[in-house]
Amino acid sequence: MKLFPKEVQFSDNFEELAGKIQEGSVLFLEILKDYRNSKGRISQLKEIEQQADVITHRIYQDLHKTFITPLDREDIYSLANKMDSIMDMIDESASKMNLYRIKEPLPAHIKLAVILNRAIALLNRSIHAMRNRSMNVRTILDACVEINSLENEADHVMRESMAELFEREKDAIELIKSKELLERIEEATDICEDVSNILEGFILKYG
């Protein structure tokens, strides 16, 4: 059974959105790893975020134009909204690095971004699997479990990093900058878990 009817192209749009989010997360990790040469890449990331917004609004417009949807409108809206929020949080993290003139990312920032990339890759795989969810139930549910584990791992990394940051950093302004960036990246991982919960709910609700 297909997730969405072909004529409405919801599946195409969700897969395109998932691809944009993964493209953005990969670029964000590259920015962190090569921060001194990141200026043009931050602008490129903003463009990806705007492209994701366009796809999200296309999904909303299709909802308004489609009289009968195979899933509840609220479920389709929630999935699109939460997926777009991941990309928004990634873009916000990069923008604040530039705005705050952060000198150099912490190793923990990179570590969290690596975890985030892994979670988003699993989401991308799950979104593609949802096109024929009845054939891919185990793939989707296993990915949801792994995303939950990654979110827990990100929580652990952030708590340890916060403790180390407050102990080591004596400059209050630099501490606030680094702390906020840690929180934003970890929050993106939280939203990945929110998306996985929605997908898991689809399996339980629609079979």
pLDDT tens column, 45-101: 999 999 999 999 999 998 887 766 666 788 889 999 999 999 999 999 999 998 888
In this prediction, residue 50 carries a pLDDT of 97
In this prediction, residue 1 carries a pLDDT of 46
Q: For residue 43, give Cα distances in angstroms to 15, 31, 94, 150, 158.
A: 24, 11, 9, 28, 27
Q: How far out from the chain centre does Cα 11 lie?
A: 18
Locate the domains of the chain by residue range.
10-206
CB 188 within 8 A of CB 100: no
In this prediction, residue 164 carries a pLDDT of 94
The DSSP-derived string for 91-126 is HHHHHHHHHTT-SS--HHHHHHHHHHHHHHHHHHHH
Helix (H, G, I), strand (E, B) or coil at 159: helix
- Spatial CA neighbour of 119 closest among 188, 177, 204, 71: 188
Q: Which residues lie below 8 Å from residue 33, measured CB to CB, with a gap of 6+? A: 110
In this prediction, residue 112 carries a pLDDT of 98
First and final C-alpha spacing in the chain? 9
**Entry pTM:** 0.91
* Low pLDDT (below 70) residues in the chain: 1-8, 67-71, 207
Question: What CATH number should be reported for the domain whose range is 10-206?
Answer: 1.20.58.220
Q: Which amino acid does the sequence have at 164?
A: E
In this prediction, residue 65 carries a pLDDT of 79
